Amino acid sequence: MFLRKKTPRKLTFDCLIKMKKRKKIGTTNHTNSTNKNKEVLFKEESYKIIGVCFEVYNIMGSGFLEAVYQECLRKEFQIKELPFLEKPSLEIFYKEFKLEQAYEPDFLCYGEIILEIKAVRKLTEEHKAQVINYLKVTNKRLGLLVNFGCYPKIEYERLLN
């Protein structure tokens, strides 16, 4: 019997949305809860942000410095008219004392979602810890960690506080 090998398709954000609508892929609600009725946190907003990341990756590919992707994302957020702050300074407190040090995530989107971008070969636990710390400091609930350095496709994770 002859089996034909399937060639991998390049998945775009629009393709993922269509597949989801056709129930070919599922969504993962990255919470510890076993309740299947819970909604994905900031579902539409995070889809739009990840869609912008896919757009930038599809045009630029991998291999650039993080600063290049950051500038591309800024321009694409402006084109799509998505609300964002670039490199906002986040205050850090120790007990009741405000520290002189501050965190600066790459983007704060919709006033609620922290977007941290990387251009590395593979995401590590340290990268995830960085986003989780940003979430704790700001009391925000959702962080997106996106890696543009991965080939042949973008790598991203949703992290919850």
Please report the pLDDT score of residue 37 as a whole number: 54
Taking alpha carbons only, the member of 66, 59, 159 closest to residue 121 is: 66
Q: Which residues contact 43 (CB under 8 A, 6 or more apart)?
A: 27
Q: For the chain, 161 residues long, give each residue's pLDDT as a single digit of tens.
A: 444 444 444 444 454 445 454 433 333 334 333 445 567 899 999 999 999 999 999 999 999 999 999 999 999 999 999 999 999 998 888 889 999 999 899 999 999 999 999 999 999 999 999 999 999 988 899 999 999 998 889 999 999 99
Taking alpha carbons only, the member of 154, 116, 123 closest to residue 16 is: 154
Each domain of the chain, given as residue ranges in start order, spans 13-25+41-160
Concatenated DSSP letters of 32-70? S---TTPPPTTHHHHHHHHHHHHHHHHHH-S-S-HHHHH
- Strands 142-147 and 155-160 come out as antiparallel
Q: Is 12 exposed, middle or buried (0-12, 13-18, 19+ CB in 10 A)?
A: middle
